Amino acid sequence: MLKNRTQNVNTICNTKGPFHQSPLVVVTQGTNPYQNTLTALKSLHLPNLKGKRILLKPNAGRLVPPKRGITTHPSVIAAAIDFFQQLKPAELFIGESPILGVKALDALKIAGITDIARERGVTLVDLDEKPPFILPIPEGKLLKKLRICAFIREVDFIVSLPVMKTHMHTGVSLSIKNMKGVLWKREKARLHQLEFQNQDEKLGKPLDVAVVDMIQVLRPHLAVIDGTVGMEGLGPSEGEPKEAQLIVASCDCLAADSVATYLMGFDPVSIPHLVLSYKRGIGEIDLQKMKILPEDFKKFRQSFLPPPQKISIQYPNVEVFDCNSCSACLSTTLLFLRRFLNQVPPCVFQEDKLIIGIGKELKSPPQGTILIGNCTAGHKKRGLYVPGCPPIASSILDRLKEEEKKNQKK
């Protein structure tokens, strides 16, 4: 069934074969995100969506208030709703499948999206509500199938509305990466757990390859990237907000992501999942081969801080062994450090250092390491293991306090 929808990507989005011919990308900038979004959408050549069912897929996977550079700006959503409603669709939906432990409707409410949607009669959908369906990926290099939120089979046109962010593990997180939010519940974390069976097949970092496997069968019909308040540095959730006041829109999601990456101050060809997407025919990466409006769009270029290589830069008394963790565990670790470092009992420090290990490739961590996440279970005899995929930040503190109590009894 999704195969039909995927074929629709090629027809509805006016894509001829795997590569778009000079895809159109529209960039707008200004202090009014509603107007920026409306202007960008009106400048695109969209198919006739009368009578179609349209899903708006924002970035609203965490319990975070708006304008922090984590969730899609409510005014961008409002403009998208107003734009699509005047195209007379059969129905318009806003749906999300958040990170583990978060309920979609709670996240949409805190993000300021629920009120906007209700005022306009748009249905909110918890994409995790129905049992998933299995989608085969015949040409997947790492993933041969995915468990997908069933609701997306009920729509004709999907709009990916991510926030313009840097990402600790994939460089940037834009419209392609945002489609992880239609993977059912825990399936999102599976993308972080994959390994190549055969070294000869190594085509890049497993996570990058998995994201491209995913997008091969889940290309959105339209990308509207919200750079009103983006995120720089420790994205996707622990970085700093960056007010870029930009919108980038295109029916070619790779072209949109490539232009957004350029406008963030990076080179699109330095981002592995964009390059891999290009090689697999997802869309265009070369800005020279796109039609980008306005022609002087380069004047909007900014310089987002890239993600740092080591967390311990910010915490001199903490050493983090991050061995291919996913952003979920990394964010948990960062959250834990930010909120609870000053409550950590002294007995768990190793010679004045707090040593933390995360990620599936952790090897021989020092004795006494705080082992965060199920991936580190193999080392539990060497340290203080905190299970979960990912665990919540407060459970790390609970585990350390438990250890303190044990020490006091000795």
Minimum CB distance to ligand SF4, residue 100 (Å) = 8
Minimum CB distance to ligand SF4, residue 9 (Å) = 29
Of residues 24 through 43, those in contact with ligand SF4 by CB under 6 A are none
CB contact at 8 A, 69 and 77 = no
192 near ligand SF4, judged by CB under 6 A: yes
375 near ligand SF4, judged by CB under 6 A: yes
Site track 117-156 with ligand SF4 (rule: CB under 6 A), x = hit: ----------------------------------------
Phi and psi angles of residue 210, each rounded to the nearest 5 degrees, phi first: -65, -40
Of 115-123, 126-134, 283-291, 353-361, which segment contacts ligand SF4 by CB under 6 A? 353-361
Distance CA 80, CA 91 (A): 13
Nearest CA to 311 out of 329, 333, 327 is that of 333
Number of residues interacting with ligand SF4: please give it, by CB under 6 A. Answer: 15
Q: Are strands 145-148 and 133-136 parallel, antiparallel or unpaired?
A: antiparallel
Phi and psi angles of residue 314, each rounded to the nearest 5 degrees, phi first: -85, -15
Residue with tokens 């949109």: 256
Distance CA 333, CA 354 (A): 12
Site track 287-326 with ligand SF4 (rule: CB under 6 A), x = hit: --------------------------------------xx
Rounded to an integer, what is the distance from CA 196 to the centroid of its chain?
Answer: 22
Distance CA 166, CA 173 (A): 6
Choose which of 329, 356, 386, 396 interacts with ligand SF4 (CB under 6 A): 329
98 near ligand SF4, judged by CB under 6 A: no
360 near ligand SF4, judged by CB under 6 A: yes
Choose which of 328, 344, 355, 362 interacts with ligand SF4 (CB under 6 A): 328
- DSSP for residue 6: H
Minimum CB distance to ligand SF4, residue 53 (Å) = 33
Q: Which residue is nearest to ligand SF4 (CB)?
A: 373
Choose which of 112, 236, 268, 373 interacts with ligand SF4 (CB under 6 A): 373
Distance CA 211, CA 166 (A): 16
Tokens of 15: 């894509």
Distance CA 292, CA 409 (A): 68
Distance CA 63, CA 282 (A): 31
Choose which of 390, 393, 397, 399 interacts with ligand SF4 (CB under 6 A): 390
Nearer to ligand SF4, 361 or 404 (CB): 361
Distance CA 347, CA 262 (A): 47
Interface ranges with ligand SF4 (CB under 6 A) = 189, 192-193, 325-326, 328-329, 358-360, 373-375, 389-390
